[in-house]
Structure 1
Amino acid sequence: MADIQGSYDDLFTAVPTALAASLDAGDAGAAVAVFVGGEPVVDVWGGFADAERTVPWQRDTIVNVWSVTKTMTALCALVLADRGELDPAAPVARYWPEFAAAGKEAVLVRHLLAHTAGLPDWDGPVDDLYDWPSATARLAGQAPQWEPGSAAGYHSLTQGFLVGEVVRRITGRSVGEFFAAEIAGPLGADFRIGLPGEHDHRVAPTVPPPGRDEDWTASAPGSSAAPAAGTGIRVRDGNSEAWRRAQIPAASGFGNARSVALVQSVMACGGSVRGVRLLSRAGCDRAWEEQFRGEDRVLGMPVRYGLGYGLFGSTYGWGGWGGSMVMIEPDARMAVAYVTNQMREPADDTRGLEIVMAAYDGLKGLQG
């Protein structure tokens, strides 16, 4: 059985057991954190930070969590909405006048957060993702692919630039700067959107699925929808220095399970964690407001979207390419985070769900 480091409440033994099972099945490395009431009941890690399996995963190892980053960017928007500086029902052009081009006058901020704005694809070169003015100007000039608000199509890369530029227009700070100053800083969370070079030595590079190499590209396999247009992101792109330094707020966040669970505990605990209040309870509840229910035309599957989060029964959260995920259970004040450097084929990847189910086992004992 894989060697698991860290600590956990005895009621939650199923969680490190599930982590060990994934490592025993061939994964390189991973970490899991479960917070209840803003405090850790599980904080464990294991395996290796490199594909060659020579560098053990450490307590402070960090990893690109891909689209789990979207939950951090959404939280920035929710904080601004709670302060009265951002109206989710307002036209995007109120804050970003250039965005009204090409028939987008009626696109609302909530459409950006719920993948219904009609701008799901990035049609530029990968290198332009690293240039914020270029990326946002390109999106401002694009025409929507459908009537905004009428359909959903997963904005896998574009959502972060769209929401992030609104944040920048309101605050004068990049989304990475705002997140660092207003969220991660006050909480003491080890998570960054735009990674400074001094943290490179802690990064566990992404490992492609068995049988794949670093040219493997993000897609939605098994989708009944037409393949997404635009530039495909390869594993090697995500492992590049340019990707780490850039702010790609839909996909380039770096952290560990502990930091993801800590930040999203704000949402699980009604806006306040460890004496730090970032949101009112009403501000948290905004995330629950259903914006779309139906088939996502990019993912080719049924979805429910709230304001920046996917809705799943009594929980909400989101997952990232390669397997990392976060799930929030507000009724139990619980946040569950799983991060890994080991990708699997999406159709075969149930690791995050298994971790969440193991956390629920522990929760039953805690509540019993």
Structure 2
Amino acid sequence: MPEQNSNSLSTLALQKFKKNFWGVLSFSFIVFCAFIAIFAYLLAPDNSRNANQMHLSIHSKPPGFNATILTIPSLETSDQSLLGKVFFGEKNMDDEIPIDHYSFEDNGLKIVPYSEGEITGVSKVIPLNSFPAELTVKEIEEKYIAPKTFILGTDKYGRDLLSRMLVGIRISFSIGFVAVFISLILGITLGAASGYFGGKVDAAIMWLINVTWSIPTLLLVIAITLALGKGFWQVFIAVGLTMWVEVARVVRGQVMSVKQMQYVTAARALGFTDFRIITRHILPNSLAPVIVIAAANFAAAILIESGLSFLGIGAQPPMPSWGAMIKDHYSYIILGKAYLAIIPGLGIMSLVMAFMLIGNALRDALDVKA
């Protein structure tokens, strides 16, 4: 028998989405960024927690900068599990020193720390007992002295900018997921109740929606953040609590339209509870616009978090945030080192654009009139 094509709305929407070049490209880019966010510490050259290994002598270096790094191992041992290192970074207590020259002497390693221009660093001797006793001079040289390339350069504290960018992607994805999740829970719940029950319930919820919407988003986020305190999760909650309003209004309108349908009247006649009618019959037929709004809210959440971090009330140092990276380096634009602010700016722009494009593609795919 010939294979029959399914004409379900979801299948048709998927087929339309696959034909949208920018939608597929944006989806692929978002999946790629999600992979980086999950395995950031495996991909980052600096896998220390928060990619926070500082080398002040090589701060603000351009992309492609090379330096010889001496690592002095810590005497303390870490009890971290493998999963802890993969997902939260390594508790790196080793000391890293950029050096110009080195030579081995009788009981020590003589080094000349990295210096710029005509200034020569003051040499110092590192005792060989700073390294494991069982290692020979040759093994110490091979294991603890190595050239390192900073692909995107270093920030003003000498930290690897590429590692900070890779780990910082987690902040943007986390804020998007948590904020959108909170906004969908609140928006769908309140919007469905308002549209289905009407009357005083609708009036009370619409009053709350209008009051919340009348307050500027950034101002409301700042007020909630200051009330909850500065921090990682506080920002997530604050952004989520300000993004539910648009979801609630759209869901309310959809529910008011769908509840007039004959299958909803039939469900009432069969004696189904209001909860079952809303969750099983009304909401599944009302959520197409909500999916589009969720994609736009994801992009908006990334922008809001970046703005808050730029103002200093977002993710707190040393946690890498793209907005905070721009804040730390925007003054370097006039100093001939604009890349320090442009690189995280391009990261924010590309991720936000991807979510906006995928939102447009979903809107076109879910448009039944088309």
TM-score, structure 1 as length reference: 0.23
Greater share of strand? 1
Higher relative contact order (CA 8 A, sep 6+): 1
Greater share of helix? 2
